[in-house]
Amino acid sequence: MSQPEFLRSIVEAADDKKAEQIVVLNMEGISLVADYFMICHGNSDKQVQAIAREVKSKGEELGYTVRRMEGFDEARWVLIDLGDVVAHIFHRDERVYYNLERLWGDAPTVDVEGELLS
């Protein structure tokens, strides 16, 4: 499976659980941690956990190893390390506070609707 196809699957998994404001940042050449960050948020602890569960399940279903998942029990900022893709699933309030899009402002944004979901 190609990286764009995997990204599309992860974005669709988050979207299936009604994740809001899904953003994918291309981190190639910027971060040594991953090639892409997927960032989204939910409006409640339960929704954040549901999104995280779905993203983790989709990654495993597609044969990717979930290297680490942190923050699931607190459901404020869940980080899922899928190797080349790191998913950041926030509670709405934490997303505004940490504002990763601004922190990594030099990373190009991948058009999830045009490039990935078409």
Cβ burial, residue 108 (10 Å; 0-12/13-18/19+): exposed
In terms of residue numbers, what domain contains 106?
Answer: 3-116
Work out the average pLDDT over 18-42. 91
- Judged against a pLDDT cut of 80, whether residue 115 lies above it is answered with no
- Judged against a pLDDT cut of 50, whether residue 118 lies above it is answered with no
Give the number of other CB atoms < 10 A from CB of residue 72.
Answer: 15
Q: How many CA atoms lie within 13 A of 34 on its CB side?
A: 20
The pLDDT assigned to 56 comes to 97
Whether 12 contacts 24, CB under 8 Å: no
- Number of domains present in the structure of the chain: 1
Maximum C-alpha span of the chain: 35
The pairing of beta strand 36-42 with beta strand 85-91: parallel
Domain of 54: which CATH number?
Answer: 3.30.460.10
Work out the average pLDDT over 12-37. 92
Average model confidence (pLDDT) for the chain? Answer: 90
- Judged against a pLDDT cut of 90, whether residue 111 lies above it is answered with no
The pLDDT assigned to 105 comes to 80
- Judged against a pLDDT cut of 80, whether residue 22 lies above it is answered with yes
**Closest of 89, 69, 72, 71 to residue 10, by C-alpha:** 89
Instruction: Enter the pTM of the model.
Output: 0.91
